[in-house]
Homo-oligomer: A and B are copies of this chain.
């Protein structure tokens, strides 16, 4: 029997219902799933990294084998350090598909023992991205159905 640890990396600024859909699918498939927030220096974030981690912990509480963590530097080094075998990425018809493959090939070049595995979120979320959510939030548009309830409330508190 194999014990597979998978890492689901991203900015999660903020976590969307599309991310959550993928987390649920990954949690069913892998023994342990680490949602890993990239500590990068974005120009104009909506939430700080600690805020994102807190919201992710809140919304992933239903899955006992899901953990939230933060990483900086190279993803493959973090994955090696965690003894992960898998990098999990979402893939959609409407998406930066080619960029995903490019990153996956580069990561394999740097660490051939770690595999990138792609899963599809529900087609209901094919239009959804954190960037779009941030845009709509800033313009005061409706976020219902796009992000978890708790994120919606935080955004409203922040923007108002």
Contacts and interface: CB of A to CB of B under 8 A. Distances in A.
A145 interface: yes
Contact of A119 (B103, B118, B129): B118
A83 interface: no
Nearest to A128: B106
A29 B1 contact: no
Interface stretch (A52-60, A109-117, A151-159): A109-117
Given A25-B115, A29-B86, A74 B141 contact: yes
A142 interface: yes
Interface in A96-140: 97-98, 101-106, 108-110, 115-120, 123-124, 126-129, 132, 136, 139-140
23 contacts: A2-B30, A2-B31, A25-B115, A29-B86, A76-B141, A91-B101, A93-B101, A94-B98, A94-B101, A94-B102, A102-B127, A105-B123, A105-B126, A105-B127, A106-B128, A106-B136, A108-B120, A109-B146, A110-B136, A116-B120, A117-B119, A123-B126, A123-B127
